[in-house]
Amino acid sequence: MTGFFRGSATAMITPFTEDGVDLDSLGEMIEYQISAGTNALVILGTTGEPATMSETERSETIKYTVKKVRGRVKTIVGTGSNCTARAVASARLAEELGADGLLAVTPYYNKCTQEGLFAYYREICAAVNIPVIAYNVPSRTGVDLLPATAEKLAEIENMTGIKEASGDMVQILDTLRRTRGKMDVYSGDDALNLPVLCAGGAGVISVLSNLVPRAVRELTEAVRICDLREATSLADRLFPLARACFAEVNPIPVKEGMNLLGFRAGTPRPPLTPLGAENRLRLIDEMRAFGLGVKA
């Protein structure tokens, strides 16, 4: 299945207060994204810190986002677990609460086989009627969804894509080759957005676009219309800011970046810590160099 969404999706942060999720602040961020032309919003992905959230907080965040978005863009909910039954339950709940699609991370910690990965996604897809995007991020999960497995997954009717954050461009090219025309591939690494798009990626699921949604969307559009001069110019401008956004573990820097833009992003939940002083100065410098108004 292809064509669920194309262009730019933002891997949204979750703003927290001491009392829980700051839904009003999340609403402001949603409007910021939609007004900038972002094509889809991903909530409760890695950047949203769902591992630190209660089931009630996750449900409330899904309900609020679906209601706030009102169908103006696609709402994609992060699910997935190291327990297949739990991943299936999360997928069903997200569908019931109005999600347009799912982003299901590979099972973490257990380090299952490629056969186990295929069975995991087959069960998730069979449990819901909405599109499912696999999320390959071996640096966090300890398991790598290989191109041959992606090729098998592409035969499942509602398996619509894979968010590739392996960081291995050779592997991504092989996945693109094997799944072309059957399943979409999305860049999950802001530093590789340009080459993945140019090689046939359908879009990006971006951390950086929390801060600069219009520029990231314009990058995807420039590649779509084959304006490589504009695409490379945008990518060159975005690259230093992207590096600053990953100077520490995601979402530590981007959350501080949203605070610096004037949003009430709060701080990451433990065990994550606030951005270090040196990296905060680096982030401020890169945000200013990009032309962003920083409230430092």
20-46 confidence digits (pLDDT tens)? 999 999 999 999 999 999 999 999 999
Q: Is residue 288 part of a domain?
A: no
Q: Annotated catalytic sites, by residue?
A: 135, 163
Number of domains in the chain: 1
Q: Is residue 27 part of a domain?
A: yes
CATH number, domain with residue 208: 3.20.20.70
Q: What is the pLDDT of residue 156?
A: 97
Q: Is residue 296 part of a domain?
A: no
Q: Is residue 218 part of a domain?
A: yes
Mean pLDDT, residues 282-290 taken together: 97
Residue 247 — pLDDT band, cuts 50, 70, 90? very high
Instruction: Provide the residue range defining the domain that includes 145.
Output: 7-230
Peptide bond into 240 cis (omega under 30): no
Q: What is the pLDDT of residue 275?
A: 97
Percent of the chain with pLDDT over 70: 100
Mean pLDDT, residues 115-120 taken together: 97
Q: How many CB atoms lie within 10 A of CB 39?
A: 20
Q: Is residue 194 part of a domain?
A: yes
Q: What is the pLDDT of residue 215?
A: 98
Q: What is the pLDDT of residue 187?
A: 98
Residues 6+ away with beta carbon under 8 Å from 222: 228, 230, 231, 234
Q: Is residue 286 part of a domain?
A: no
| In the predicted structure, residue 259 carries a pLDDT above the cut 80 | yes
**CA quadruple 30, 105, 238, 231: dihedral sign:** negative
| In the predicted structure, residue 296 carries a pLDDT above the cut 80 | no
Q: Is residue 54 part of a domain?
A: yes
Q: What is the pLDDT of residue 295?
A: 82
140-165 confidence digits (pLDDT tens)? 999 999 999 999 999 999 999 999 99
Residues 6+ away with beta carbon under 8 Å from 52: 269, 270
Q: Is residue 279 part of a domain?
A: no
78-95 confidence digits (pLDDT tens)? 999 999 999 999 999 999
Residue 1 — pLDDT band, cuts 50, 70, 90? confident
182-196 confidence digits (pLDDT tens)? 999 999 999 999 999
Q: Is the pTM of this model over 0.85?
A: yes
